[in-house]
Amino acid sequence: MIEEKEKRDLSNNEEGQLLKWLTEEKIDEFRENFLALHAYDQARFYMKVGPDIRRTMYHFLSPEEMAEIFEALELDDEEVQGFIKEMDPTYAANMLSYMYTDDVVDVLNELDKADRDQFLKLMDEETAEEVTELLGYEKHTAGSLMTTEYVSVQENSTVRSAMNVLRREAPDAETIYYIFVVDENHRLTGVLSLRDLIVADEDALIRDIMNNRVVYAKVTDDQEKIAQIFKDYNFLAFPVVDDNLVLQGIITVDDIIDVIDEEASDDYSKLAGISDIDDIDAGPFKAARQRLPWLVMLLFLGMLTATLMGQFESTLEKVALLAVFIPLISGTSGNSGTQALAVVVRGIATGEIDEKSKLKMIFREMGTGLITGLACGLIVVLVVFLWKHSMMIGLLVGTAIFCSIFVATLAGSFIPLLIHKLGIDPAVASGPFITTLNDITSILIYLGLATLLLGQL
Amino acid sequence: MIEEKEKRDLSNNEEGQLLKWLTEEKIDEFRENFLALHAYDQARFYMKVGPDIRRTMYHFLSPEEMAEIFEALELDDEEVQGFIKEMDPTYAANMLSYMYTDDVVDVLNELDKADRDQFLKLMDEETAEEVTELLGYEKHTAGSLMTTEYVSVQENSTVRSAMNVLRREAPDAETIYYIFVVDENHRLTGVLSLRDLIVADEDALIRDIMNNRVVYAKVTDDQEKIAQIFKDYNFLAFPVVDDNLVLQGIITVDDIIDVIDEEASDDYSKLAGISDIDDIDAGPFKAARQRLPWLVMLLFLGMLTATLMGQFESTLEKVALLAVFIPLISGTSGNSGTQALAVVVRGIATGEIDEKSKLKMIFREMGTGLITGLACGLIVVLVVFLWKHSMMIGLLVGTAIFCSIFVATLAGSFIPLLIHKLGIDPAVASGPFITTLNDITSILIYLGLATLLLGQL
């Protein structure tokens, strides 16, 4: 474990040594040791040191070497802009030209329009053109994720010539482990893995050994769908085409890992009612700013609950005991609603719930709500009877629990499906929101019932 | 979009045709068309048809061909056992011998011990030995995820001989895109990508072109840590060694995608208080069974809240208005607690919060709680004053909100850290649980304050 740590991360010692070489301007020693590191470790070092040290790094490293560091950076809006501004514009444009186009797009997306245009002008023309096209795709689509550095060959070439193409393109292509086969109009017709190529006869024709049942995506497909395909088929890379099946780019598995992580985090933070869960390093003010919108919104929803309860003040005045069970009822309804919500939101996100299974899902949740409601209701009748020796109160609280769980479970499944139907991300019907809504309905059910039965209590 | 669907999934037409060939025992037509499909589509077809059709498939397909289908199956406990039991034991054992060892381990783990031992006896000796060793590793460790089908070469071989090894092993190895370099004791000394190999001079020595800063894991390392390394370094595969640095196996990116998905789902479902979120297809009874344990447990915790509130019955009797604000206060405290909890649980899961940053985290959350509590408290004082025209009630509710948010935020961050310290998965301090705990404290604070101030109200 300890050895692994040492090998993986840069030790303090190594870090100190690198810093020393930088401040003493010992370019050869720095380059020899720094360039032996994995790009991820280089990136961590780069982010850790201050702007002055970074400026020395720009002098010691070529734009091509810096490009590798930038590809490994976990980019955060404000930081990228800062880093780019530290560099000489020509150096920065040069660096961008050396990066894979999908990463260039990520960087440029963080800059304001004027800076973006300036860099596009400074970059070499071909790359600038490709990047401009990629910048045009909407966020979270296949088009915005793909890179244009792939290897393609013609159907009628031989294995030998394909291997030569591969050797030539290897230094620049983002992956050489899949070769995409196209016809004379650059339309995708097949795919081949490097593994197939290596074991094939050198004189065989690509057309004869390629796989022509290619799985591909359209440039406009949503990233969540792409992620699902990667999960199902275990691909390492995946072609993206336009409406005429013309090959436009590829998506590689490393970008998909980020997507899977991001989508899961996103659903999770919405369930908890926070805007950005990944920001562990934020100070208390930033953290509070991220959480307050939700809290305050829910506070006002809670006020609504209070207003509605105010209508029952006279009932509560007559039987104060009633108030004692309010947290129990609203809590239980909130819990069952969140359970249903979480299942449905994840099901929609992963594509397991589609048009056809929607109705089935709602019926399933109705059944589940009936069963859990009945079970919890009966337990409550029994416990309250044993505790308060009042069958009336027991039945009242039990019935309220039963109704609340049923309604909450149904709402927890129905509302996200409805929101999804309206074209909105169903995760916004997040945990705290649906909990507060269920609070209101459950209390209305409970106090409404109580008011009806007031004579009996 | 439609074309993509058609290409990706089997159309009903194709499916019907395959079924027809199977029932009419047209073996050649079936094999030609079925074997042209991607293994994932084969697996979907296999799972969809009934046991009778599957029995015909076992006759039409060789154990080796069936092995590919099994590798692509999304395995679920009960199903696997059923599938295996349908097969002739020798056929099944043969099939297992053709599968990658990590997948064999997954299958055997779903069988009971007697069946497992029977298959191990029937399998070829070498594979059985490797599998037995893998079965010994604890779940969720690198050892249980790795496969033994990797390509390794000696340091002093040439690029040419390495390429020959690669061609020979390509049909069996799980990945040929990384080649692991070992010394005479099979200790890991370097790594090389197929890309490096392809562009290198054929007579070069492996030792001279390999990368000797290898990132690796120990067999006992946790899968979450491995997933983090894949995310950081964008690897496609990754070596696993024992305590003496002897290479034991490799982990490939497709298995890691499943881990990332599983871990994220796991945290998410625990936040919602459900045991298994992925079971979209479960009937209402199964769904209810998965949710009831949490609901009932929280019901009893809720009873505790009710009991505690019972102590304040006389206060509530005197000022019934007090009850009106209970859902508001408990809801707000629950929400802020869940927010803090979610951030900390994810931070621990992703490794961003470690021993060193723990204390910093708690102080951050204290600060965040103070700020959000103050903001929400002030809003409440104002709103209640405007609504009820009572400064006293406004101050009481506002103070209760402030204290509750502060305590809930602190509890939401402190409790998971404490649980983690005790060696338990902090996600068990899940959303509904911490919400119910915060219910109790917030109501105690509120009614306690109210009782103290009773004379003034």
User: A445 to chain B: which residues are within 8 Å by CB?
Assistant: none
**Nearest CB to A313; choose among B265, B268, B321:** B321
Other C-beta atoms within 10 Å of B77: how many? 10
Residues of chain A with CATH 1.25.60.10: 6-138
State yes or no: pLDDT of A1 exceeds 60.
no
Q: What share of chain B is helix, strand, coil (3-state, %, to 5)?
A: 70, 10, 25
Confidence of residue B396 (pLDDT cuts 50, 70, 90): very high
Residues of chain A with CATH 1.10.357.20: 284-456
What's the pLDDT score for residue A4? 39
Any A CB within 8 A of B54 CB: no
State yes or no: pLDDT of A8 exceeds 60.
no
Residues of chain B with CATH 3.10.580.10: 152-260
Provide the mean pLDDT of chain B. 86
The tally of CA atoms less than 13 A away on the side-chain side of residue A177 is 18
State yes or no: pLDDT of B269 exceeds 90.
no
Mean pLDDT lowest among A219-223, A393-397, B112-116, B346-350 = B346-350
Which CATH homologous superfamily contains domain A6-138?
MgtE N-terminal domain-like (1.25.60.10)
Mean pLDDT of B255-281: 76
Chain B, residues 205-264, CB within 8 A of chain A, namely 213-218, 220-221, 229-234, 236, 245, 253-254, 256-258, 260-261, 264
Quote the CA–CA distance of A372 and B297 in Å, as a whole number. 13
What's the pLDDT score for residue A276? 64
Mean pLDDT of B347-375: 86
Q: What's the pLDDT tens digit per position in A133-189? A: 889 898 889 998 999 889 999 999 999 999 998 888 888 888 888 999 999 999 999
Q: What's the pLDDT tens digit per position in B414-425? A: 888 888 888 777
User: A383 to chain B: which residues are within 8 Å by CB?
Assistant: 303
Quote the CA–CA distance of B203 and A366 in Å, as a whole number. 70
Q: What's the pLDDT tens digit per position in B309-350? A: 888 888 888 888 888 898 889 888 888 888 888 888 878 877
Q: What's the pLDDT tens digit per position in A108-142? A: 888 888 888 988 998 888 888 889 988 989 888 99
Residues of chain B with CATH 1.25.60.10: 2-137
CB distance A229–B8 less than 8 Å?
yes
Q: What's the pLDDT tens digit per position in A24-57? A: 989 999 999 899 888 888 998 998 888 889 999 9
**Nearest CB to A335; choose among B199, B273, B371:** B273
Quote the CA–CA distance of B354 and B262 in Å, as a whole number. 22
Inter-axis angle of helices B27-34 and B51-60, nearest 10: 90
Q: Please tell us whether the domain made up of B152-260 is placed in CATH 3.10.580.10.
A: yes
In the DSSP assignment, the letter for residue B141 is B
Any B CB within 8 A of A347 CB: yes
Q: Tell me if residue B94 falls in helix, strand or coil.
A: helix
**Nearest CB to B299; choose among A199, A316, A376:** A376
B254 phi-psi bin (left φ>0, alpha ψ -120 to 50, beta other): alpha
| Residue A340: partners with Cβ closer than 8 Å, 6 or more residues away | A365, A368, A369, A408, A409, A410, A411, A412, A413
Return the CATH class of domain B284-456: mainly alpha
Q: How far is A252 from chain B (nearest CA, A)?
A: 10
Return the CATH class of domain B2-137: mainly alpha
Confidence of residue B6 (pLDDT cuts 50, 70, 90): very low
Quote the CA–CA distance of A404 and B451 in Å, as a whole number. 30
Q: How far is CA A215 from the centre of its chain?
A: 23
Quote the CA–CA distance of A261 and A267 in Å, as a whole number. 10
User: A366 to chain B: which residues are within 8 Å by CB?
Assistant: 284
Confidence of residue B159 (pLDDT cuts 50, 70, 90): very high
Q: How far is A313 from chain B (nearest CA, A)?
A: 6
State yes or no: pLDDT of A7 exceeds 80.
no
CB distance A170–B199 less than 8 Å?
yes
Supply A70's token pair.
Answer: 């930038």
The tally of CA atoms less than 13 A away on the side-chain side of residue B422 is 11
Q: In what order do the strands lie in the sheet with A217-218?
A: A217-218, A237-241, A247-252
- The answer to whether residues A39 and A72 touch, using CB atoms and an 8 Å cutoff, is yes
ipTM of the complex: 0.75
Chain A, residues 74-113, CB within 8 A of chain B, namely none
What's the pLDDT score for residue B278? 52
What's the pLDDT score for residue B60? 93
